[in-house]
Structure 1
Amino acid sequence: MLGAASLLATPALVRAEAAWPSRSIRLVSGFPAGGGIDVLARTLGRLLQGPLGQPVVVENITGVGGSLGALAVKRAPADGYNYFLATTATHAIGPVLNPAIGYDPVKDFDLVATLCTFGFVLLAPPTGVTSLAGLVEEARRDPASVTYGTSGVGTPHQIAFELLRQQGGFQATHVPYRGMSHAILDLTAGRLTAMFCDIPSAIALSRGSPVNFLAVTTNERHPALPDTPTLRELGISCFDVTWQALVAPAGTPAPIRRRLGDELLAAIGTEEGKRRIEELGLSASPRVAAENDTFLADLYGEWANWVRQSRISAA
């Protein structure tokens, strides 16, 4: 009887997959509207709507470093209509810092496609230090005077600075903010000594406010910042870039995930798609997930190592 039920269910499943999508698709962003991740989600939604013939509705479920959005998608039906814009924060750093986060970033999600990356740049105010060596010298001379801002505890910004601080052999005071915008305001006003900022935002910032670029996390010098050395050049070991990827609840039918991944890559590859991604300052690295893809597991493993080295905690 169980075998017969399985045979009867199979044609229905095939018909459902063939008809996909027959209604709007939900794409959850774990970060607030107007931020970089939200803008990327809405850009992807606009690019996909034409090829799929259905609207892609972006929903912002924010809080706890994006993990509330991830939890919502984990609990959603695995029917091909629920997706999450995963980030290094939600699928690597958060679960490492908080084992009770409520989801397994590998087992509870299926990868649809990798999307984009961006690195970070170490900034100082226009009246501040002009090199990493200068920052280290100032910190060693007067440790209490050196402060660095981030968008919160456990962010890539904090991890990068703690790796730098430990390897550089100096002390600094961490000043966490609710978001990068307030930290940037204090940096440009000279109320912070330094901070790491994502490269796209830093480049946009420099067009209106002068800042000093000290070093980038990327393995190679950034094309837009050719005179800014890499941390690697300066003898500091740090992560290269952070990632964004599209994931679905575990068990989402593979044919649907493959079709969505194919449509996504095709959309990003169009002239409009390339232009929109470039306007966001991101480096496109799209790839449709392979069978038994290890990307999410590899990402988690790599960042677990960086978190351990940084010695930060969620407290």
Structure 2
Amino acid sequence: MRIKSSFGAFCAAALVMVGAAAQADTYPSKSVRIVVPYATGGGSDILARQIGAGLQQMWGQGVVVDNKAGASGNIGSAEVVRAPADGYTLLLQNSTMVTNLGVMGKLPYDPEKDLTPIMLLGVTPIALAAHPSLNVGNVKELMAASKAKPDALSYGSCGIGTPQHFVMELVKQQTGVAAAHAGYKGCAPAVTDVLGGQIPLAIVSANLVAPYAKNGRLKVVGVSTAQRYAQLPDTPTFEEQGLKPFDFSIWFALMGPKNLPPAVVMKLVADISTILAQPAVVANLSNAGVEPYRGTGEDLARLIKADTKRYTDLAKSANIKAE
């Protein structure tokens, strides 16, 4: 009885594998939906539309970008978690997913267990910018300004619990800088207020302040990645200025429901890698502040695990709590 049962289970598993392989050979045979769990216009949306246009041309099948914003990205992500694992519903997420987990402690889904990591797509550095009136252009000068007037500094971020907020709190921990936090609803309002002098500092996506650094309307104190940002080549990284280890960025990634067929994953990785290598795509994404980065599903899984720990630890040490 046990032998017969085991043989039956083996046959069932074999049929599933054959079915998955056959499905992958014909994939995609219909329209594919890429869910972006944020509003239009952001890095995730721009990446999804760039990749979607390339895949549509490559496949001869429709690729629809579906913005499902709400609950800091949790609504759209949970919808993909519940979707069939056939490759026709995909998720374009970013590192806000793991900062949410760090702040909230738990999400409506488990990023490590409920999603298939397909590949890393790109990164955006984070920059700390100062209004020229503060007369601060690097970390050393920021520390001096804070020491001179301990209660005078404040900074705007893209929102409580965002990657930008976390990065500034780490800067404060490592430098002793005192600066009160003002969480905005998005990066653009924070940039507007630091340009207008309503706040002395803002920590935002680096591409948003690069043009103002070039025309002198803002000074950039440092960038968050291990290497300098191409649009701010003269701005030292935080790590170059003595903060170690310090390599944080907003990353963007493609995922799917758990148990996505490996052959489907391989096809997606191969085809999207081809798209991300095209010079026109690289230029378009760079103009939007996204530096293409082609990392494997294994790279993404490791990054999610590592970032979950470091953002969770930082949320505790900096007392970052959800609104």
Structure 2-normalised TM-score? 0.88
Structure 1 position 198 matched with structure 2 position 201: no
2:4 maps to none
Compared CA separation, residues 76 and 275, structure 1 to 2 (3 A): same
Counterparts of residues 84-123 of structure 1 (less than 5 Å): 84-90=91-97, 92-123=98-129
User: How far apart are the structure 2 equivalents of 1:294 and 1:142?
Assistant: 42
Counterparts of residues 145-224 of structure 1 (less than 5 Å): 145-206=152-213, 210-224=217-231
Instruction: Check the 8 A contact 1:27/1:58 in 2, yes or no.
Output: yes
1:231 aligns with one of 227, 238, 251: 238
Deviates more, 1:205-214 or 1:159-168: 205-214
Task: Supply the AA of the counterpart residue of 1:144.
Answer: D
Task: Supply the AA of the counterpart residue of 2:312.
Answer: A
Compared CA separation, residues 166 and 126, structure 1 to 2 (3 A): same
Instruction: Check the 8 A contact 2:44/2:93 in 1, yes or no.
Output: no
Deviates more, 1:278-287 or 1:50-59: 278-287
2:290 aligns with one of 251, 272, 282: 282
Instruction: Check the 8 A contact 1:265/1:288 in 2, yes or no.
Output: no
1:257 aligns with one of 265, 280, 284: 265
Structure 1 position 313 matched with structure 2 position 321: yes
2:275 maps to 267
User: How far apart are the structure 2 equivalents of 1:63 and 1:261?
Assistant: 28
Compared CA separation, residues 235 and 55, structure 1 to 2 (3 A): same
Provide structure 2 residue ranges, at least 5 long, that are not aligned to the other structure. Answer: 1-7
Deviation at 1:202, TM superposition (A): 1.9
User: How far apart are the structure 2 equivalents of 1:254 and 1:87?
Assistant: 22
Counterparts of residues 128-139 of structure 1 (less than 5 Å): 128-131=134-137, 132-139=139-146
2:3 maps to none
User: How far apart are the structure 1 equivalents of 2:298 and 2:148?
Assistant: 52
Deviation at 1:3, TM superposition (A): 5.1
Deviation at 1:211, TM superposition (A): 0.8
1:54 aligns with one of 49, 54, 61: 61
User: How far apart are the structure 1 equivalents of 2:231 and 2:299?
Assistant: 36
Counterpart of 1:34 in 2: which secondary structure? Answer: coil
Deviation at 1:9, TM superposition (A): 5.0
Structure 1-normalised TM-score? 0.90
Root mean square deviation of aligned Cα = 2.4
User: How far apart are the structure 1 equivalents of 2:169 and 2:78?
Assistant: 28
Instruction: Number of aligned residue pairs: give it.
Output: 314
1:42 maps to 49
Deviation at 1:270, TM superposition (A): 2.2
User: How far apart are the structure 2 equivalents of 1:99 and 1:211?
Assistant: 36
